[in-house]
Structure 1
């Protein structure tokens, strides 16, 4: 099927799960999981994933887009946590309908200025732009950040001003989750989610959802979250499958054997998260 714009997927449903792609197997697993669930999904490539591929966006983007186009599921392509303007400016040519431009580490005024510039460029090229306000934390290379530290969570009044000043199409907010969690123990601030939903006129995005229990994700979607980002859960499934296979066959050298199992485990993880986000599971 043709790629579906991210904005269309989010507008058409209560909540959509977005999964990070690192390898071709990730993309294939996301498509397979979406097909099994009969639900739409977003395939995300982050700036860190692009760095892993030698800083070249085109090869992994082309492979991911090809997998999505050959799938029977409704899938979109999203460029995530972009810091580099050079990478941002490659999005349109590589088939991305949306970008998350991340200026969240900058002081507020600088964040507004940089994000506004990204939005102007994005809208001129038909790109839906997400940004972040608050500090979700937990990404590689960052100082560990407690999601409950005062000043970390997104303030509704500041969020309203930020959206009005930048013109962003969606807002990632800090409400108690954290990137790179391998245990599902995050407790979300659902009252804050509701306040943010009432304060801003754009869809809210939950980053770090791998560490959020199913019931918490369901409540977050019901409270107003529309895009639910999942990355570490796929990597946990991938790595666990590879470790398990090699423990059973210590002499095995054919990567197709263990990558097939990793892809299957990731597809199951994708299907389960899609059902949770949609309210079907």
Structure 2
């Protein structure tokens, strides 16, 4: 089927008091695995290409974007394409022509006023192109290998009052909030500030996005959706599954040289991880639900 729009998938998740899973992809195997996993559990999914992934692909966005578009066209579930953690305005402006329906513009590294000004300009441009736009306020650590912030550092967590003003003044369609998760975590030991999430959900009238979700155990993922998160970003969990499967295969078959043999087991492991995580998210009761 044709590419779905990220905004439509998030709106449907919000209306259903649930969340849509968004997986960061780096290779064609990631793309195929995410779609296969989503198809296995009959769920919509968002494919995300980050600025770091574009850098890894030698600065070229179109090859991976075209692969994702073609794979989505053959999928039996709705698949959207999202450009993630964009800091470069030049990359931002490539999004519409590459098939992306949405972008996450990340100026969260900047002081508040500069973040707001840059995000406002990006949102104005994105909306003129028909793009749904997400931004970030607070610090979800672990980007590009940086350590996570101390949870008590000023600005490390998203302030609900400041966030409400930021959303109103920037015009963004969704906000990624810092509530205790961190990017690139290889262990599932993070804990969310559930009270803060409740306050953010009450203060904001746009969808809330959770980044760094690979580091959360199942009960925290469930709590995120219950608390009002409607888009859940996952990346490292796929790489853990891929790398672990390849390591095991090569240890058992040291003579192997055909990359198709170990990439196929890695792709299957990622697909299983996708299906399991989507099942966890879809099994979570939405905010206000009763058991």
Bin the TM-score by the shorter chain. Answer: over 0.9
**Partner of residue 272, structure 1:** 276
Asked if 1:257 is matched to 2:261, the reply is yes
Q: Distance in 2 between matches of 1:113 and 1:197?
A: 24
Residues 257-280 of structure 1 deviation map (CA, whole Å, 9 limit, x = unaligned): 000000000000000111111117
The partner residue of 2:242 within 222, 232, 238 is 238
The partner residue of 1:91 within 92, 95, 104 is 95
Answer yes or no: is the 8 Å Cα contact 2:226–2:284 preserved in 1: no
Range 141-150 or range 44-53, more displaced:
141-150
* Deviation of the 1:145 alpha carbon: 2.3
Asked if 1:145 is matched to 2:149, the reply is yes
* Deviation of the 1:139 alpha carbon: 1.3
Residues 32-64 of structure 1 deviation map (CA, whole Å, 9 limit, x = unaligned): 000001011100000000000000001111011
The partner residue of 1:205 within 193, 197, 209 is 209
* Deviation of the 1:65 alpha carbon: 1.3
Q: Distance in 2 between matches of 1:158 and 1:54?
A: 37
**Partner of residue 191, structure 1:** 195
Answer yes or no: is the 8 Å Cα contact 1:92–1:125 preserved in 2: yes
The partner residue of 1:224 within 209, 213, 228 is 228
Q: Distance in 2 between matches of 1:92 and 1:242?
A: 35
SS at structure 1 position matched to 2:143: coil
| Correspondence list, 1:138-177, <5 A | 138-177=142-181
Answer yes or no: is the 8 Å Cα contact 1:148–1:176 preserved in 2: no
* Deviation of the 1:171 alpha carbon: 0.1
Asked if 1:4 is matched to 2:7, the reply is no
**Partner of residue 53, structure 2:** 49
Answer yes or no: is the 8 Å Cα contact 2:87–2:107 preserved in 1: yes
| Correspondence list, 1:104-123, <5 A | 104-123=108-127
Asked if 1:179 is matched to 2:190, the reply is no
**Partner of residue 289, structure 2:** none
**Partner of residue 22, structure 1:** 26
Answer yes or no: is the 8 Å Cα contact 1:81–1:102 preserved in 2: yes
Residues 186-212 of structure 1 deviation map (CA, whole Å, 9 limit, x = unaligned): 110111111111111100000000001
Task: Structure 2: give runs of 5+ residues left out of the alignment.
Answer: 286-291
Paired positions, count: 281
CA RMSD in angstroms, aligned pairs only? 1.2
Q: Distance in 2 between matches of 1:46 and 1:128?
A: 16
* Deviation of the 1:144 alpha carbon: 4.1
Q: Distance in 2 between matches of 1:141 and 1:85?
A: 22
Answer yes or no: is the 8 Å Cα contact 1:147–1:177 preserved in 2: no
Answer yes or no: is the 8 Å Cα contact 1:147–1:178 preserved in 2: no
Residues 138-177 of structure 1 deviation map (CA, whole Å, 9 limit, x = unaligned): 1124244234544310000000000001000000000000
The partner residue of 1:134 within 130, 133, 138 is 138
SS at structure 2 position matched to 1:78: strand
TM-score by length of 1: 0.98
